[in-house]
A and B are shown apart, each in its own frame.
Chain A
Amino acid sequence: MGSVKIRVKDTNLYYGNHHALKNINMDIYDKSVTALIGPSGCGKSTFLRCLNRMNDLIPNVRIDGEIQIAGNDINKYDVILLRKKVGMVFQKPNPFPMSIYENIAYGPRIHGTKNRSKLDNIVEKSLREAALWDEVKDRLKSNAMGLSGGQQQRLCIARTIAVEPEILLMDEPTSALDPASTMKIEDLMENLKKQYTVIIVTHNMQQAGRISDYAAFFLNGEIIEYDKTEKIFYKPMDKRTEDYITGRFG
């Protein structure tokens, strides 16, 4: 068991009057993959978006409790530095409508890297880490919208890695992809967790079982059970977890 990277204490979230996250307490471990599972609308994605404060963009959201990253309250971070440190990959691949190169260089540029050869290095390194380099190295100048869905998603992962985050949040990153692309991204995660703390929301139980070290089961805004993945899958403590995992509902 690694050290605690993210500590979530007594966190509640309200959309207006709707109590969407209820008293969440969770320690997330460094350099591991943590899967958030549970039926649609249970608050997994909402929770994920708390960690890089993307919920700040939504009006009428109120959050209490405390979330610490490496011991520091995320509300005390400058939100820009926080999001640099906590990268996010979205459900629908969302490359910018610009070249592959510009997509990757975008993040480093906004954080002040101007040197061309430095940017070249970052682009190559990020694309290699995202297992996309060999497929695109000859067409870095072409528009990213021309890539396949799976390639676009790996580009988005590369784009996120390019700003050297410590934590990667992935919100159902493979739900819009075909099985072959999904497998590529799952393979990729094996490598990513060597360097990053990965938190992934997924609806795919097999995926959670294959790639995660820890798993948290969410239901109606609460964490029902959180433990090592094999424990959640093979010896769940709570009946509801078992029902969900075995496919009896959800």
Chain B
Amino acid sequence: MRLSERIIEKMLVICAAIALLGIAVIAVFITKEGWPIISKIGIKAFFLGKDWTPTKGVYGIFPMIIGSIYVTIGALAIGVPIGISCAIYLAEIASPKVSAIIKPGIELLAGIPSVIYGLYGMTVIVPIIRDLFGNQGFSVLAGSIVLGIMILPTIINISKDSIEAVPKEYKEGSLALGSSHWQAIIKVILPSARSGIISSIILGMARAVGETMAVIMITGNSTMIPESILSPVRTLTGNIGIEMGYASGEHQKALFATGIVLFIFIMCLNLLAKLIPKKAGA
């Protein structure tokens, strides 16, 4: 092999290694910073403790775990039906002209900074909820709606690609048996695209769990376990984002510990996405 090629190859390897190194450094760093406080408080007290009062040195993140789960479920409840429907529409029904209008819109949706989503939630969604339900507006519901919109591009794009990857012979086979287009979609095309659609949902979930700024701006951030979808809520990401600015000492370490939990959440979701079989019908 020529020397220049060998050098290029080595450089590419180094670049790939840097990406890997990045994740390793982050993992080591937050573990090193956060773990001592978890072991001091006790795993059970930290994870299942319902009280988060840094001023008294009480660190229980159970409300935030529940908060993240609630808001994520809410976001999926809103984003998954809309996202998959939109993917079906784009892949199967829309004319090329209509697609050409919708696709850039979706790409734009993916590119909007999350703080803008937060602003929109704060000034539009929150007041609507306040007027409708007479609560303070900042709530699980508000967070779910905004996150539901934020995860749409992930779900739409990945689902659409997997629907389009279904061999057209399946569709023809179904139509030739006298099925309607809709029956072909529901009974043959979607089941064949199942693995890609599930992956899209998991990746959307990871995005919802990890979102910080927009969530802080619209969920109210109370450290109580929410009683209903109209109650304010604080997520794991919100917990770190709000308090890191002024926290010090043990309090700061407890926030790193929150980061560990978040890290584990995201890793599990990514692992899950990897485990989904890629092939249709497998």
Contacts and interface: CB of A to CB of B under 8 A. Distances in A.
A84 B177 contact: yes
Interface in B183-206: 183, 187-188, 191-192
A163 interface: yes
A84 B178 contact: yes
A211 B59 CA distance: 82
Given A80-B180, A84-B178, A145-B281, A98 B173 contact: no
A110 B178 contact: yes
Given A96-B188, A98-B191, A90 B169 contact: yes
B280 interface: yes
Contacts of A94: 167, 169-170, 172-173
A84 B177 CA distance: 6
Contact of B179 (A88, A92, A110): A110
Say which size band chain B's interface belongs to: 10 to 19
Pick the most buried of A52, A84, A106, A159: most chain B CB atoms within 10 A of its CB. A106
A98 B282 CA distance: 9
Contacts of A159: 173, 177
B177 A106 contact: yes
Interface string A147-182: 000000000100110010000000000000000000
Contacts of A52: 176
A97 B187 contact: no
A222 B188 CA distance: 36
A95 B280 CA distance: 12
A110 B281 contact: no
Contacts of B170: 94, 96-97
B169 A87 contact: no
Contacts, number: 68
A194 to B, nearest CB: 22
A90 B281 contact: no
Among B169, B170, B177, residue most surrounded by chain A Cβ atoms (within 10 Å): B177
Given A97-B281, A98-B281, A145-B281, A54 B172 contact: yes
A83 B178 contact: yes
Given A97-B281, A145-B281, A156 B175 contact: no
A184 to B, nearest CB: 20
Contacts of B191: 97-98
Q: Most chain-B CB neighbours within 10 Å: which of A83, A97, A98?
A: A97
B174 interface: yes
B280 A97 contact: yes
Contact of A106 (B174, B180, B192): B174
B176 A83 contact: yes
Contacts of A70: none
B28 to A, nearest CB: 43
B196 to A, nearest CB: 13
Contacts of A88: 176
Most B Cβ at <10 Å: residue of A81, A106, A110:
A110
B132 to A, nearest CB: 42
A111 interface: yes
A80 B177 CA distance: 8
A90 B177 contact: no
B177 A92 contact: no
Interface string B246-282: 0000000000000000000000000000000000110
A80 B173 contact: no
B187 A83 contact: no
Contacts of A83: 175-178
Contact of B173 (A96, A111, A143, A163): A96
A39 interface: no
A107 interface: yes
A96 B170 CA distance: 6
Interchain residue pairs A-B with the least CB separation, the first 3: A97-B281, A84-B178, A94-B169
11 contacts: A82-B178, A87-B176, A90-B169, A90-B176, A94-B167, A96-B173, A96-B188, A106-B188, A107-B178, A110-B180, A160-B176
Given A52-B176, A97-B281, A160-B177, 5 more contacts: A96-B174, A97-B192, A110-B180, A110-B187, A163-B178
